[in-house]
Amino acid sequence: MKVLLIGAGGTIGSAIDKELSERHEVIRIGRNSGDFHVDISDSASIRKLFEQTGKFDALVCAAGNVTFAPLDAMTGDSFALGLKDKLMGQVNLLLIGREFANDGASFTFTTGVLSHDPIRSGASAALVNGAIDSFVRAAAIELPRGLRVNSVSPNVLLEAMDKYAPYFRGYKPVPAADVALAYAKSVEGLQTGQTFHIG
């Protein structure tokens, strides 16, 4: 399969690349690195990407920004980053990408544990992750041509605990390699409308 991997240079993206590249042609995409570049918060950038990459069999997005800050410091503008980037960026990857997707192609998006197990300063991430998981369930029942869509919702990564441990006390971190298996399940399986919870 031809797999478009957005966020290929990140911790999760690198693990997905390692998992899938043994069996598939992986096109590595990032904001500033990789075979192609995209800003998922910009619909024009997304369309340009698909015009460059052409038809594909699977799209995986392991990218997306949100604001982490205490709720009493958050404003509407603070939420706008996550809404425009991680949420609508992934929604637009499907809305625009379906034009370029081969019959039976899959879309796999990234959410996270905060949608159902929130932390302090994580209101924006919780909002965005929950919205994406809901979008996946709803979009799956309307997609034509055998197209599929799923999301992967990992717990905090083992590799990120040096940075995030104070925010995730009591959480059991998961290795990125284990998280990558869920993306492989989405890409290579038959499920649609699912959120794969890891950890």
How many CA atoms lie within 13 Å of 81's alpha carbon, on the beta-carbon side? 12
Confidence of residue 13 (pLDDT cuts 50, 70, 90): very high
Rg, Å, the chain Cα set: 16
Contacts of 7 by beta carbon, 8 Å cutoff, 6+ apart: 13, 29, 30, 61, 62, 63, 64, 110
pTM of the model: 0.97
Q: Each residue of 60-75: pLDDT tens digit?
A: 999 999 999 999 999 9
Q: Each residue of 56-110: pLDDT tens digit?
A: 999 999 999 999 999 999 999 999 999 999 999 999 999 999 999 999 999 999 9
Q: Each residue of 24-33: pLDDT tens digit?
A: 999 999 999 9
What average pLDDT does this structure show over 118-125?
97
Question: In this structure, how many other beta carbons lie within 10 angstroms of the beta carbon of residue 96?
Answer: 17
Beta partners for 61? 6
Alpha helices in the chain (DSSP H): 11-20, 43-53, 76-82, 88-97, 123-140, 161-164, 176-188
